[in-house]
Amino acid sequence: MRRYLVLITIVVACGLSACGSSETSSGGSEGDKVTIVTTTTQLTDFARILGGERVSVYGVLKANVDPHDYEPSPADLSRIAEADLLVKSGVDLEGWFEDTIDSADPKGEIVDASTGITLREGGEQAAGDPHIWQNPLNAKVMVHTIAQALERVDPAHGADYQRNEAAYAREIDALDAEVKAGIDGLANKKLVTNHDAFGYYVDHYGLEFVGSIIPSFDTQAELSAQDISDIVAKIRGAGVKAVFSESSLPPKTADAIGREAGVKVVAGEDALYGDTLGAEGSDGDTYLKMIRHNTRVIVDNLS
């Protein structure tokens, strides 16, 4: 049924956009720019930084949209079909991706940004933990993979992409040192989040992951009464100071569990950015700002 719906959508997309003939010339380029389609907000940020004025980037997922359960729009399918370069996060994060590719039949190169990254075990998800960007060192690998793809697609400007990558890598290294200093100063490093999206961050910076409200990498996982009882017991038994909600998930369940366990719930503008960057103008509208925001909120509430 999912494949059938995607096939209908691509037909509609072609009718609306003349199969990409409106604002995009043949070959997928907008003028002399390389056209890139990215599946997640983090990848959109990386591609724009690396490509600068030489690229036009279309992000399929927008800010605060859950990537685990998404249905591509006609505009998405048209862009995917015509792009010079298509970048996915990988590790089965985009469950909709393969059916979409089969239907859109893109002409450009498809790049998996998780290539070369050592994955955490997946538990119920055989491919592994898909939230690879939560460790800045993994983000550097993702950035390098995208930069190499840009050099292949647009070799005439390869030196520009290399310079942009080197400059951004230095910023990521500075961010990593900054976060380590903040987390190292904590006496209580026990973390409880909305869902299991911060494993790479926890492992890299030496936090203690007590558990999550949704005990899964996937936000669509069903939450049972036993799951609720288990996490409340863990919070009480471990001496957890706070439960952290996430920007792309409703805080209702976290609020209820926080009340039952007798701990504060961090929500609203201080919610963590897990699966997605924040809206433009927010405290998490770029990758670097997202990691800094999450670290500040964690440190402030666990100190």
Q: Please, which residues have CB within 8 angstroms of residue 139's CB and are 6 or more apart in sequence?
A: 42, 46, 133, 172, 287
Write the CATH number for 215: 3.40.50.1980
Full strand arrangement of the beta sheet holding 55-59:
55-59, 34-38, 85-88, 109-112
Q: Would you place residue 26 in the very low, low, confident or very high pLDDT band (cuts 50, 70, 90)?
A: very low
Residue 278, CA distances (Å) to 30, 82, 257, 291 in order = 27, 27, 25, 11
Return d(Cα 263, Cα 282) in angstroms, integer. Answer: 26
pLDDT digits (tens, 9 = 90+) for 112-126: 999 999 999 866 667
**In this prediction, what percent of the chain has a pLDDT beyond 90?**
70
Residue 210 and residue 273 in one domain: yes
pLDDT at 222: 61
pLDDT of residue 218: 57
Residue 15, pLDDT score: 43
| Residue with token string 């209580």 | 188
The boundaries of the domain holding residue 217 are 185-302
Q: Check residue 195 and give its pLDDT.
A: 82
Do residues 132 and 21 share a domain?
yes
Residues 130 and 274 occupy one common structural domain: no
Instruction: Please give the Cα distance from 13 to 20 (Å, whole number).
Output: 9
Query: Does one domain contain both 199 and 171?
Result: no
Euclidean distance between CA atoms 139 and 172, whole angstroms: 8
| 155: Cβ contacts below 8 Å, ≥ 6 apart | none
Q: What is the pTM of this model?
A: 0.86
Same-domain pairing of 227 and 153: no
Co-location of 7 and 38 in the same domain: yes
| 48 and 156 part of one domain | yes
How many domains are there within the chain? 2
- Indicate whether 74 and 190 sit together in one domain: no
Report the distance separating Cα 164 and Cα 50, nearest Å.
5
Statement to judge: residues 39 and 170 lie in one domain: yes
The per-residue DSSP string of the chain comes to -HHHHHHHHHHHHHHHHTTTTSSS-TTS-BTTBEEEEESSHHHHHHHHHHHGGGEEEEESSPTT--SSS----HHHHHHHHH-SEEEE--TT--TTHHHHHHHH---SEEEETTTTPPPPP-TT-TT----GGGSHHHHHHHHHHHHHHHHHH-GGGHHHHHHHHHHHHHHHHHHHHHHHHHHHT-S--EEEEEES--HHHHHHHT-EEEEEEE-SSSTTS---HHHHHHHHHHHHHHT--EEE-BTTS-SHHHHHHHHHHT-EEE-GGG-B--SSPPPTTSTTSSHHHHHHHHHHHHHHHH-
Condensed to tens digits (0 to 9), the pLDDT of residues 136-182 reads 999 999 999 999 999 999 999 999 999 999 999 999 999 999 999 99
Instruction: Tell me which residue of 70, 120, 65, 44 sits closest to 246, measured CA to CA.
Output: 65
Are 165 and 204 members of one domain?
Answer: no
Does the pLDDT of residue 25 top 80, yes or no?
no
- Both 75 and 215 in one domain: the answer is no
Mean pLDDT of 260-283: 94
CA distance 93 to 40: 9
Please, what is the average pLDDT of the chain?
87
Is 206 in the same domain as 231? yes
pLDDT at 187 over 70: yes
